Structure 1
Amino acid sequence: MQQQRPMNPLAPMRLTSFSHGGGCGCKIAPGVLSEILRSSGAGLIPPALMVGIETADDAAVYRLNDEQALVATTDFFMPIVDDPYEFGRIAATNAISDVYAMGGRPILALALVAMPVNQLPVEVIGDIVRGGQDVCRAAGIPIAGGHTIDSVEPIYGLVALGLVHPDRVRRNADARPGDVLVLGKPLGVGVLSAALKKEKLPESGYRQLIANTTKLNTPGPKLAALEGVHAITDVTGFGLAGHGLELARGAGLRVVIEWPRVPLLEGVAAMAADGFVTGASGRNWAGYGASVSLSAGLPDVTQALMTDPQTAGGLLVSCAPEAVDAVLGVFREEGFESAAVIGRCEAGPAGLVVEG
């Protein structure tokens, strides 16, 4: 059970005011990232490296032996909320998610802590670290080390390591034509964070934001063990459209999203229509919009919500039609009541289509 956090007398301090962006909205735009990786060239690729950077997957996977492969990932960002404890929880949840998305079970984490130590009180930094520790405790892993630096902006995250059987690694590139797509969490975190930044988010919206971003993607290993589950990824900073497009490109097929079936956090459609959209949403569309087709008649907010950056977003599962009930059953068992079928994979040129 999560420990009760003591009241912080410094809570009125706006942690988000120290940073130019927050959460997974801090990610470098997909087009710019693609150019950086292209110009960096290919490095050493040992035979035991099962998953590297070639398909923009969630984590690296290195085969140790016939029974074990090491999953390694890292994620860190600037504050998405003002409460330091909740910021730590959100950042840790987001970082560990990539291990689950590969089908792995986390085994330990290393903390990455960069703070403006002359501007933030030690108590605030301690709250951030404690939030991360509590999430790691919930995941059943220790924070076994890390690194700290003095920084202009507050940054927190983890290196997360996990183990998976080599046969149960679920890459984002292994979807098949005819597969059904299931999304584990509702969309809208970026919209809520944009409203929070402008001090227009109601208490109910804040509670949704915290609940969604601190919910560990624990179904990952169970999903990977199911026959018929071919690919898993998690939806984070590039939005549903961006991560769906990565899945399409990796597998060389067309991903079709059925917009009316996509779960949304309560109130975010109206909030997006009122202009509560992050800058990252526009950068996402600029980076990959040419490969996304929006069908006529869709609501005006569809593009903004499809590109909405999700911090600690849900798992996106590509599975055979006969595995759908089992996939939804795993999500339900783990407490993901909003999990829903949202689309399908088809043979055709790599791309993403959003239908009404």
Structure 2
Amino acid sequence: MSIAVLGAGAFGTALAVSLARKGPVTLWARGAEQVHEMAESRENARRLPGVKLPETLTVTSDIETALSAETLLLAMPMQQMAGFLQAHAEALAGKTLVSCAKGIDLATGQGPTGLIRAHVAGARAAVLTGPSFAADIARGLPTALTLACTDHSEELQAELSTPTLRLYRTTDTTGAELGGALKNVYAIAAGTVIGAGLGESARAALMTRSFAEMQRIALALGARPETLSGLSGFGDLVLTCTSAQSRNFRLGRAIGSGEGFDPSITVEGVATAKALDRLARERGIETPIAAMVRALTEEKIGVSEAMQSLLARPLKEE
């Protein structure tokens, strides 16, 4: 099968590089200037510097060329996905569409597979998610991810696996996409804890209670508990809550320390916190940490107030 990666950010480029080590892959970027730079230098210096693009990787800004592939990896920000799917619905019809985005659509409250099914006729919707940083994948460091698809996905699993990128499959698309989306919210909280100097014990407690919230939300929305305990849930939570490579963690650390943060950097957890808090209120699901993250990112409360609010909650059984 032919493969194209749509989106030449760090993660999309890393996936394209990894897959191109097996065979031909197309990487699509919006800007012709960026494509020209990458084609000339054989490097995505803007997003993934220091990583050479294999000769088997073709870079293009021609969307029609990219959409001719049979399997398309959608490596774009979650809040841009619905518009992209609507704009190219006819060309995408009947294709295998693998979302690499982690988030919840603000306008509809849907995850990526819901958007794919809503906008593209006959598409096979899948999710690729889990604990991974672009630089690790691109450098060929061992990485394991979850591939979620409701149908029999052994063929797709083999197609997208590489010697250093190991995929585990599941049919629980709801659990996989929720795990990948929700952990971003809690990574902001973990970063805030560290930025505010509250200590490692506080971070451990925060991560544990965050995982309880993730499970509570996901199960209420129809996910399977074992999915949240796997790579796309617990695994991704651990990675993003403990590493400064995570943009969500870095934003939280900036909030906690009172430092500025580059507004041009996409931080999916901000929009997800808003969507999640709204969804939880509608469903009557208790999510105090997510609510505090939304309030912090919207500058409605300060770090000290958020901490006191969480610590003052009634004592309960674990």
Q: Say yes or no: TM over 0.5.
A: no
TM-score, normalising length from structure 2? 0.32
Relative contact order (C-alpha < 8 Å, sep 6+): which is higher? 1
More helix by share: 2
More strand by share: 1
